[in-house]
Amino acid sequence: MQPWGGAVTDHTTDPDRMAPQPFKGHGISHPRAPAAGGGVSLEGAADPAAAIARIAEPFDDIDDDFAALFDRFAERRVILLGEASHGTADFYRARAAITRRLVSRHGFGIIACEADWPDMAVLDRRVRGRAGPAPAEPPFQRFPRWMWRNTDFAALVDWLQRENADRTPDERAGVFGLDLYSLAGSIQAVLGYLDRHDPEAAGIARRRYGCLTPWAEEPAHYGSAVLRQRYGSCEEAVVAQCREILQRGMDGDPEGYLDAAQNARLISAAERYYRVMYQGGAASWNLRDRHMFETLQQILEARGPGARAVVWAHNSHIGDARATAMGRSMDELNLGQLCRERFGDEAALIGFGTAAGTVAAAADWGDEMEVMAVRPPLPGSWEALCHATGIPRFLADFGRAGDLRDSLSRDLLERFIGVIYRPESERASHYMKADLPHQFDAWVWIDRSAALTPTSHGGDADPAAKTDPEDAETFPSGL
Taking residues 29-42, report their average pLDDT: 34
Inter-residue contact 409 to 377 (CB < 8 Å): no
> Is the predicted pLDDT of residue 33 greater than 70, yes or no?
no
Establish if 385 belongs to a structural domain: yes
pLDDT at 7: 34
- Cα 416 to the chain's mean position, in Å? 13
> Is the predicted pLDDT of residue 19 greater than 50, yes or no?
no
Q: Give the residue, 133 or 116, on which the prediction is more confident.
A: 116
Percent of the chain with pLDDT over 90: 66
Establish if 232 belongs to a structural domain: no
How far apart CA 323 and CA 432 sit, in angstroms, is 11
pLDDT at 456: 82
Average pLDDT, the chain: 85
pLDDT at 290: 97
Percent of the chain with pLDDT over 70: 84
pLDDT at 32: 31
Q: In terms of Cα–Cα distance, which of 398, 400, 395, 408 is closest to 435?
A: 408
The amino acid at residue 14 is: D
> Is the predicted pLDDT of residue 457 greater than 70, yes or no?
no
How far apart CA 276 and CA 375 sit, in angstroms, is 34
pLDDT at 138: 87
pTM: 0.86
Which tens digits make up the pLDDT trace of 138-179?
Answer: 899 888 999 999 999 999 999 999 999 999 999 999 999 999
Of the given ranges (207-221, 343-357, 437-451), which has the lowest mean pLDDT? 207-221
The whole domain housing 365 covers 17-179+282-474
Q: In terms of Cα–Cα distance, which of 391, 429, 88, 132 is closest to 255?
A: 132
Establish if 22 belongs to a structural domain: yes
Helix axes 117-128, 151-164, angle to 10 degrees: 40
Which tens digits make up the pLDDT trace of 43-65?
Answer: 334 699 999 999 999 999 999 99
Establish if 454 belongs to a structural domain: yes
3-state secondary structure the chain: CCCCCCCCCCCCCCCCEECCCCCCCCCCCCCCCCCCCCCCCCCCCCCHHHHHHHHEEECCCCCHHHHHHHHHHCCCCEEEECCCCCEEHHHHHHHHHHHHHHHHHHCCCEEEEEEEHHHHHHHHHHHHCCCCCCCCCCCCCCCCHHHCCEHHHHHHHHHHHHHHCCCCHHHCCEEEEEECCCHHHHHHHHHHHHHHHCHHHHHHHHHHHCCCHHHCCCHHHHHHHHHCCCCCCCHHHHHHHHHHHHHHCCCCCHHHHHHHHHHHHHHHHHHHHHHHHHHCCCHHHHHHHHHHHHHHHHHHHHHCCCCCEEEECCHHHHCCHHHEHHHHHCCCCCHHHHHHHHHHHHEEEEEEECCEEEEEEECCCCCCCEEEEECCCCCCCHHHHHHHCCCCEEEEEHHHCCHHHHHHCCCEEEECCCCECCHHHHHHHHEEEECHHHHCCEEEEECEECECCECCCCCCCCHHHCCCHHHHHHCCCCC
Task: Indicate the pairing of strand 442-446 with strand 393-397.
Answer: antiparallel
User: Any idea how long the chain is?
Assistant: 479
Inter-residue contact 329 to 27 (CB < 8 Å): no
Helix axes 89-106, 151-164, angle to 10 degrees: 10
Task: Read off the pLDDT band of 180 (50, 70, 90).
Answer: very high
How far apart CA 133 and CA 147 sit, in angstroms, is 24
Q: Give the residue, 29 or 467, on which the prediction is more confident.
A: 467
Establish if 356 belongs to a structural domain: yes
How far apart CA 385 and CA 34 sit, in angstroms, is 18
Alpha-carbon torsion (335, 337, 338, 339), positive or negative: positive
Total number of domains in the chain: 1
Which tens digits make up the pLDDT trace of 198-242?
Answer: 899 999 999 999 988 887 777 877 777 777 766 678 888 899 888
> Is the predicted pLDDT of residue 464 greater than 60, yes or no?
no
Establish if 357 belongs to a structural domain: yes
- Which residues pair with residue 420 across a beta bridge? 362
Inter-residue contact 113 to 177 (CB < 8 Å): yes
Q: Give the residue, 414 or 478, on which the prediction is more confident.
A: 414
Q: What is the CATH number of the domain that holds 358?
A: 3.40.1660.10
Establish if 9 belongs to a structural domain: no
pLDDT at 250: 63
Taking residues 23-27, report their average pLDDT: 29
CA distances 70 to 64, 352, 442, 443, Å, are: 10, 14, 10, 11
Establish if 375 belongs to a structural domain: yes
Which tens digits make up the pLDDT trace of 274-320?
Answer: 888 777 779 999 999 999 999 999 999 999 999 999 999 999 999 99
Instruction: Determine the straight-line distance between the first and last CA of the chain, rounded to whole angstroms.
Output: 28
How far apart CA 153 and CA 96 sit, in angstroms, is 8
